[in-house]
Structure 1
Amino acid sequence: MPAKSPVMVRGAGETILVVEDEPDLRAYTTEALRDLGYRVLEAAEGREALKIVERHPEIDLLFTDVVLTGGMNGRALSDEVTRRRPELPVLFTTGYTSNAIVHHGRLDPGMHLIGKPFTYAELATKVRQMLDRTI
């Protein structure tokens, strides 16, 4: 008997801010999230993302790459967003194992991460868990 494929976890119109400096990956991520039923805002770098956070109090999740161009990495962005909106959950993504949130193979406390490359199903599941606060 073939294994059942997991039920795709869908969004309910929540707003996600995607911050990714690699255009193709940003396009893939935003398209996948929109397909899953989320409203998506996007930024290519941290300072642009901060302006969007200020203009859009309806953002439900910050999804950011750890390594960003433009002088502000994802950790610094997260710290500033958390200072302004402490209730806003942050999901990091990275293709590197050694960076601003992973130390000695472990995430800093309170950090949530999805590694690159991620699949559509992994993205769907992790984002839903973050929004439902089940992780």
Structure 2
Amino acid sequence: MSDFKIEFEVENPSEPPMIDVHYEWSQYALWMSGKYGFGTFDGHEIGLSAELVQDLLAWGDSADAIFNADDPANSPYPDNFLEDGYELARRVRAELPAEWVVTVWSPALKADVVLPKEN
């Protein structure tokens, strides 16, 4: 990844950079912690491809469109939403350097998982 450029200052140098891919109403899908501090963002700030950033935004927008703010706990997800989120997280993992820790909810395991860096 020769063009990889991070736009955040190091806040916690002894921790790895971490990204959790998950949905929260009207927020970006990427939640950062660790080396570069805490925040949520669309993905261009950590060098993700424009296509992946657009797909992450569309994923969140699809749930926002049917989110019930009056009853958040019972708000539905679009069809295959959690599976789509898992696949987006796999794409995030593939585009980031190995030092990054990427987590996501696994619909199959019904738990948060750390995605391994694949070759």
Q: Same fold (TM over 0.5)?
A: no
**As a proportion of its length, which structure holds more helix?**
1
